[in-house]
């Protein structure tokens, strides 16, 4: 797969390349992993929060949520926003909300995501959250005794966090790595290539050291050719980084003994080794690098990309696993989109003719009898044909939410964040394998509205 470029990035000038671990350096089978998270969250809700036993039978349906959606905890709705923050489609529980009701409810006002009522689903780890929230809202609507919508969101968040922290998820993953982790031998080979080219490498992950070590022992070490262990490839490894706080708050680094996992307060520069916690500014200063000499890549649009661009001047890359499915859908739908484009151009020409006749009538020149009726009938026919084609087009994407990166004809909120904050983006880290570590990535010239063909 290609690497997609939003702004120029000269790898030759990059001296330190950092990676998130989960869903970035390490690829998971999303459906299997998120089904496990869903199951464990349901169990915790029943056993620890007193939720009804009936929710144990809720199935996991991955299509119920995609990255980039927003939960409205006041109304119990799941929203898909355009790049302008407008609600383009919505579901209440498992039911689609008619666009007229969406319009009445949200008044076409841009959604302010800084408001506590709204929770964005900005990573693959949030898929289970979105699926379970939709299901519980649906059960509540059907009469099951459940808390209010806001408490539902809080409880699900707590249950999923608990499942990640207490070993409910990690222990099962570590006991069956072949099932949960997708082996990608190109990634370790890519890392060795970067090291051979003189690039320093680091990991900054929110996972703890014990889990990080086991996962990298499985996914990286067996595929190395010129190193015996993943720890030889990376200059720095930061675990339990608590991103985005790693980029927001000044905190101490704890040094980790790689053999025992024991920690102690670290004094002095951070230039090599394995750590817990810390702060980006000290790391950058101790490495003696300018921010634009560091490239960091991750899968979380806020914690790994937006926060970095807002708080420091590191270069950024986003790994978007859902993009692979999206690209396949775009390829299949391309002939349909071509037909829609041609019909839309024809419709525009007819509308311009109607406008011309309207101005002429205003100036005293009446159109020929029936001419306007004929034009409006042609437009109605085009609209009907476009409607059918749009149904065929949507069938190539998520059956509930459509494309991740589009909301109708507009870019989605998620796409706008990628455009605004990610220097480059890709489906997986190994997409970089076909590019030299000296590649100069340049974006294509963007076409503005006034530059497009009529």
The two three-digit tokens of residue 412, written as one number: 């989605």
Q: What is the mean pLDDT of residues 420-446?
A: 96
Q: What is the mean pLDDT of residues 184-192?
A: 97
What is the pLDDT, as a whole number, of residue 369? 78
Rounded average pLDDT over 386-395: 95
Of 318, 342, 374, which residue constitutes the final position of a domain? 318
Structure token pair of residue 409 = 């004809």
pLDDT score for 294 = 98
- Cα gap 435→427, rounded to integer Å: 15
Does 55 lie in the same domain as 23?
A: no
Rounded mean pLDDT, 340-358: 93
Per DSSP, the chain holds a count of helices (H) and strands (E) of: 13, 21
What does the alpha-carbon distance between residue 200 and residue 137 come to, in Å, rounded to a whole number?
48
Token pair in block for residue 29: 């089978």
Can you give the three-state secondary structure of 183-201, one letter per residue?
Answer: CCCHHHHHHHHHHHCCCEE
Domain co-membership, 36 together with 153: yes
Residue 368: its pLDDT value, please? Answer: 80
Determine the pLDDT at residue 409.
86
- Work out the pLDDT band at 365, boundaries 50, 70, 90: confident
Residue with tokens 């708050």: 249
Residues 111 and 219 in one domain: no
Question: What does the DSSP 8-state code read for residue 448?
Answer: P
Query: Are residues 265 and 230 located together in one domain of the fold?
Result: yes
Determine the pLDDT at residue 56: 97
> Do residues 423 and 5 lie in contact, with contact meaning Cβ atoms separated by under 8 Å?
yes
Length of the chain: 454
Please state which of the ranges 121-125, 235-239, 259-263 shows the lowest mean pLDDT.
121-125
DSSP 191-246: HHHHHHTT-EEEEE-SS-HHHHHHHHHHHTGGG-SS-SSGGGT-SEEEES--TTGG
| Last residue in a domain, options 168, 195, 223 | 168
* pLDDT of 361: 82
Claim to verify: residue 329 and residue 342 sit in the same structural domain: yes
Per-residue pLDDT, 206 = 95
Q: Is the pLDDT of residue 445 over 90?
A: no
Long-range contacts of the stretch 191-198 (C-beta < 8 A, 24+)? 191/220, 191/233, 191/234, 192/224, 192/225, 192/226, 192/227, 192/233, 193/437, 194/17, 194/437, 195/227, 195/233, 196/226, 197/437, 197/438
The pair of structure tokens assigned to 142 is 């059907």
Percentage of the residues of the chain whose pLDDT score is greater than 90: 89
In a domain, 362, yes or no: yes
Is pLDDT above 90 for 228?
A: yes
Query: Is position 340 within any domain?
Result: yes
- Provide the number of structural domains found in the chain: 3
**Domain enclosing residue 46, as ranges:** 30-168
Burial class (CB in 10 A: 0-12, 13-18, 19+), 268: exposed
Give the C-alpha separation, 223 to 244, whole Å: 31
My answer on whether 87 and 125 are in the same domain is yes
Instruction: Note whether 156 and 133 are within 8 A (CB).
Output: yes
Give the pair of three-digit tokens for residue 91: 């579901």
In angstroms, the CA 72 to CA 64 distance is: 15
Q: Within this chain, do residues 273 and 341 fall inside the same structural domain, yes or no? A: no
Asked whether residue 45 carries a pLDDT value surpassing 80, the answer given is yes
Q: What are the residue ranges of helices labelled H in 249-365?
A: 280-287, 307-311, 322-362
Domain boundary among 142, 168, 194: 168
Claim to verify: residue 24 and residue 34 sit in the same structural domain: no
Q: Could you tell me the pTM of the whole model?
A: 0.92
Domain for residue 195, yes or no? yes
Structural domain contains residue 2:
no
The mean predicted confidence, pLDDT, of the chain is 95
Task: Tell me how far apart the alpha carbons of residues 133 and 409 are, in angstroms, rounded to a whole number.
Answer: 28
Region of residue 374 (left: phi > 0; alpha: psi -120 to 50; beta: else): alpha
The CATH number linked to 252 is 3.40.50.1000
Is there a domain that residue 175 lies in? no
Same domain, 186 and 308: yes
Task: Please give the pLDDT value at position 239.
Answer: 98
Residue 261 CB contacts under 8 Å (≥ 6 apart), including other chains: 209, 210, 213
Q: Report the sign of the C-alpha dihedral through residues 446, 448, 451, 454, in that order.
A: positive
What is the rounded CA–CA span in Å between residue 298 and residue 24? 6
In a domain? residue 446: no
Is residue 174 assigned to a domain?
A: no
Nearest to 120 by CA among 307, 316, 309: 307
Q: Please, which residues bridge with residue 253 across strands?
A: 277
For position 454, what pLDDT does the model report? Answer: 58
């Amino acid at each position: 797969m290609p690497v997609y470029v939003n702004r120029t990035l000269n790898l030759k000038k990059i001296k330190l390349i950092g990676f998130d671990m989960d869903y970035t350096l390490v690829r998971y089978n999303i459906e299997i992993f998120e089904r496990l998270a869903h199951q464990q969250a349901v169990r915790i809700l029943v056993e620890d929060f007193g939720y009804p036993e009936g929710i144990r039978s809720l199935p996991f349906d991955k299509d119920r949520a995609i990255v980039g959606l927003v939960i409205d905890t006041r109304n119990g709705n799941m929203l898909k926003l355009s790049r302008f923050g407008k609600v383009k489609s919505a579901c209440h529980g498992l039911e689609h909300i008619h666009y007229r009701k969406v319009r009445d409810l949200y008044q076409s006002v841009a959604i302010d995501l800084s408001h506590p009522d709204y929770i964005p689903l900005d990573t693959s780890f949030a898929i289970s959250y979105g699926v379970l929230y939709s299901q519980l809202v649906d059960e509540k609507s059907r009469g099951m005794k459940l808390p209010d919508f806001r408490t539902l969101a809080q409880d699900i968040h707590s249950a999923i966090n608990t499942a990640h922290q207490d070993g409910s998820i990690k222990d099962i993953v570590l006991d069956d790595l072949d099932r949960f982790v997708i082996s990608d031998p190109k990634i370790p080979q890519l890392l060795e290539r970067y090291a051979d080219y003189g690039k320093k490498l680091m990991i900054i992950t929110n996972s703890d050291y014990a889990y990080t070590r086991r996962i990298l022992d499985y996914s990286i070490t067996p595929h190395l050719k010129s190193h015996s262990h993943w720890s030889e490839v990376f200059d720095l490894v930061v675990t339990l980084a608590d991103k985005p706080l790693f980029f927001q708050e000044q905190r101490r680094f704890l040094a980790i003994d790689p053999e025992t996992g024991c920690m102690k307060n670290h004094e002095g520069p951070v230039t090599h080794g394995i750590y817990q916690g810390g702060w980006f500014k000290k790391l950058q200063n101790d490495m003696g690098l300018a921010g634009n000499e560091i490239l960091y890549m991750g899968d979380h649009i806020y914690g790994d990309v937006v926060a970095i661009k807002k708080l420091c001047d590191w270069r950024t890359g986003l790994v978007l696993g859902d993009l692979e499915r999206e690209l396949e859908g775009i390829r299949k739908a391309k002939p349909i989109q071509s037909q829609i484009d041609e019909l839309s151009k024809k419709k525009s020409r007819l509308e311009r003719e109607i406008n011309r006749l309207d101005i002429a009538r205003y100036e005293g020149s009446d159109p020929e009898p029936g001419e306007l009726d004929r034009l409006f009938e042609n437009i109605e026919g085009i609209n009907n044909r476009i409607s059918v084609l749009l149904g065929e087009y949507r069938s190539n994407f998520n059956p509930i939410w459509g494309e991740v990166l589009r909301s109708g004809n507009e870019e989605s909120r998620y796409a706008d964040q990628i455009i605004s904050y990610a220097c480059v983006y890709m489906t997986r880290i190994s997409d970089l394998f076909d590019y030299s570590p000296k590649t100069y990535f340049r974006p294509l010239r963007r076409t503005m509205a006034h530059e497009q063909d009529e």
